[in-house]
Chains A and B, each alone.
Chain A
Amino acid sequence: MVHTFIYKHNGKPLYFLWDVESGSLFNVDDVAFLCALNRYGEPDEAGRAAYEALDGERVAECEAEFDELEREGALNAPQKIREFKKNAGVVKALCLHICHDCNLRCEYCFASGGTYNTARDYMSAETAKASIDFLIASSGNIRNLEVDFFGGEPLMNLDVVKETVEYAKARAAETDKRFSFTMTTNCLLLNKANAEWLNAEMDNVVLSIDGRESVHNGVRKSVSGKDCFGVILDNAIAFRKIRGDKKYYVRGTYTAKNKDFCADVLALNDRGFDQISVEPVVLPDDHPLALKMSDLEELEAEYDKLGEAYIERRKTGKWFNFFHFMIDLEHGPCLNKRLTGCGAGTDYLAVSPTGDIYPCHQFVGGDDAYLLGNVRDGVLRRDVRERFAGYTVLSKPHCAECPAKYYCGGGCTANALHFTGSPDGCYELGCALQRKRLEVSLAIWFIENVTGNNAD
């Protein structure tokens, strides 16, 4: 399968062919692009007319070049793998819902004010330690294990987090395992002492800020409905200062209220942050903040705009990394990872404050059909885990013709469930945005790595 796309850089079009099955990227001239559209795609009327008007000799040159690349297996390569099933046996990462309570009331929160539609509950140290024991016992020969402290707001239960980290480190020493700890916080309680502890113990810290002050305050309110951007920003900036080159992200959400989210990304960069993710909200279509398929063209244009700003800033003192533009065209993960994505329900599981196990954090508190067991008893619903192990890029019909499939891993099972009623369904807008981000990422990779930023 050959995917053709155009990226406008400095107002001029760059033409690309992306060979999905071999993982090959080509930059071509306008003649070859029209020839490729005609040969591999379905050109519209204008494209067909432009192709028919081309000089025959130049068309023949392009066709000969396509033939050569096809013989080399770099263009229109056949699909080599037709079947794959993941091993559902081992677990390597747990998301601990350390606290089903929150000190914010964000309008778009998928966790219903941090509660996940359950009681406002705090995980006990005993349950957290049982979760660590469960993870070690379920990890087989895997040595590198991960524990993510999530909420709600995990800093509201920091004493248990601290006790859990110490316990996990002790158990790791006994069992020859190695733990990585991460936390996502809204920064409201990120005072100096908490920041220093997180900096020392967490491998990655995610700071939730939505970008511009007006955008953030518009959707992320305190429990009493007050604005909180000032406190949160001050705490996040202070944490950034002590973080040095260790992993962190500022992570925002864009909604129907700020489809001009490029401005939010740049606002975060202007505040001194250089690891940034601003991501589309996922809400049912009838929610006032929901993004819909009718917004797609506008959102795609915004990613193009962000791509151009990104390229420019990375040449200057305002270098930053954008989570959804990260791509590796030289190495990248193994086939297992490319075909199965995040591992929800198989090697990645989430634990509720009472110790109940779910396929991932977005399933917690939802349909009991996805309640897998409890950390004290282990996984009881092996049938559900086996079902999740079977969800791969190859098993989902909507992935078959998608140019992003090996860079996406098949999409988010939770979003698919919420939108289609099935974890292996197609969340159409999410897939379309993933494809767009891949195109922009590939173009950026070309501009920065091949042309040395001199593509124009």
Chain B
Amino acid sequence: MKHIKAVSTKIFEKTHKTGCGECQAC
């Protein structure tokens, strides 16, 4: 692409759709 540089794309495709609750709690 000539005018646009992708920095990071479609992050949310990698996002887990369900949570396990084991991560840190603000």
Shortest Cβ distance from B9 into chain A, in angstroms? Answer: 4
Q: Is A21 an interface residue (CB 8 A)?
A: yes
Residue from B7, B11, B15, B23 in contact with A27 in the complex, judged by beta carbons closer than 8 Å: B7
Q: CB-nearest residue of chain B relative to A412? A: B26
Main SS class of interface, A: mixed
Give the size of the chain B interface in residues (CB under 8 angstroms): 26
Contact for B24 among A69, A143, A146, A450, CB less than 8 A: A146
Interface residues of A in 314-341 (CB under 8 A from B): 329-338
What 1/0 flags go to A163-187 for Cβ under 8 Å of B?
0000000000000000010000000
Q: Mark B1-26, 1 if CB is under 8 A from A, else 0.
A: 11111111111111111111111111
List B contacts of A343 (CB < 8 A).
25
**Which of B2, B15, B22, B26 interacts with A332 by CB under 8 Å?**
B15
Judge whether A333 and B3 touch: CB under 8 Å. Answer: no
CB within 8 Å for A23 and B19 given contacts A32-B3, A65-B3: no
Contact (Cβ within 8 A) B18 A74: no
- Grouping DSSP codes into helix (H, G, I), strand (E, B) and loop, the B interface class, with mixed when no group exceeds half, is loop
Taking a contact as CB atoms under 8 Å apart, the answer to whether B5 and A329 are in contact is no
Q: Tell me whether A74 and B9 are in contact (CB under 8 A).
A: yes
Distance A31 CA – B19 CA, assembled complex (angstroms): 41
CB distance from B26 to the nearest CB of A (A): 5
| A-B residue pair count with CB separations less than 8 angstroms | 113
Q: Are B24 and A180 in contact (CB under 8 A)?
A: yes
Is the C-beta of A25 less than 8 angstroms from some C-beta in chain B?
A: yes
Nearest opposing residue in chain B for A204, CB measure = B24
Q: How far is the CA of A335 from the CA of B19 in the complex (A)?
A: 7
User: Does any Cβ of B come within 8 Å of A28's Cβ?
Assistant: yes
In the bound assembly, the distance between CA atoms of A333 and B20 in angstroms comes to 11
Query: A24 to B11, Cβ gap below 8 A?
Result: yes
Once the chains bind, are A32 and B19 in contact (CB under 8 Å)? no
Among B8, B18, B20, find the residue whose CB has the most chain A CB atoms closer than 10 A. B8
From A23, A28, A31, A90, give the contact of B21 (CB < 8 A).
A90
Contacts of B25 in A (CB 8 A): 92-93, 146, 342-343, 347-348
User: Are B11 and A31 neighbours in the complex by a CB distance under 8 Å?
Assistant: no
User: Do B15 and A61 have beta carbons less than 8 Å apart?
Assistant: no
Instruction: Tell me which residues across on chain B come within 8 A of A21, comparing CB atoms.
Output: 12
Taking a contact as CB atoms under 8 Å apart, the answer to whether B24 and A347 are in contact is no
Q: Establish whether residues B11 and A28, one from each chain, have CB atoms under 8 Å apart when the complex forms.
A: no
A337's nearest neighbour on chain B, judged by CB, is B19
* Chain B residue with Cβ nearest A80: B12
Q: Of B4, B12, B19, which contacts A26 at CB under 8 A?
A: B4
Closest Cβ of chain B to A178, distance in Å, is 9
Complex-state Cα separation, A329 to B7, whole angstroms:
9
**Residue in A25, A77, A142, A143 whose Cβ sees the most chain B Cβ within 10 Å:** A25
Asked whether B22 lies within 8 Å of A26 as measured between CB atoms, the reply is no
Residue A29 is within 8 A (CB to CB) of chain B in the complex: yes
User: In the complex, are the beta carbons of A335 and B11 less than 8 A apart?
Assistant: no
Nearest chain B residue, comparing its CB with the CB of A361: B26
Which residue of chain B is the closest to A144 with respect to CB atoms?
Answer: B22
User: Is A218 interfacial (CB 8 A cutoff)?
Assistant: no
* CA of A318 to CA of B25, assembled, Å: 29
Report A-chain residues with C-beta under 8 Å of the C-beta of B9: 22, 24-25, 72, 74
- Whether A330 contacts B4 by the Cβ 8 Å rule is no
Give the distance to chain A from B4, nearest Cβ to Cβ, in Å: 5
Chain B minimum-CB-distance residue to A23: B11
Judge whether B24 and A335 touch: CB under 8 Å: no
Q: Which one, B10, B19, B26, contacts A24 given CB within 8 A?
A: B10
Minimum CB–CB distance for B18 against chain A, Å = 7
CB contacts (< 8 Å) of A347 on chain B: these are 21, 25
Mask for A141-170, Cβ within 8 A of B = 1, else 0?
Answer: 011101000000000000000000000000
Q: Do A22 and B10 touch across chains, with their CB atoms under 8 A apart?
A: yes
A23-B12, A329-B8 are known contacts; what are 6 more A-B pairs with Cβ within 8 Å? A26-B5, A61-B2, A74-B10, A92-B25, A329-B11, A330-B14
Can you give 18 A-B contacts (C-beta < 8 A)? A16-B7, A22-B9, A24-B9, A28-B4, A29-B3, A61-B2, A61-B3, A77-B10, A92-B21, A92-B25, A142-B22, A146-B25, A330-B11, A334-B15, A334-B20, A342-B26, A343-B25, A406-B12
- State the 10 A-B residue pairs at the shortest beta-carbon distance, nearest first: A336-B19, A23-B11, A32-B3, A334-B16, A93-B25, A329-B8, A25-B7, A23-B12, A24-B9, A334-B19
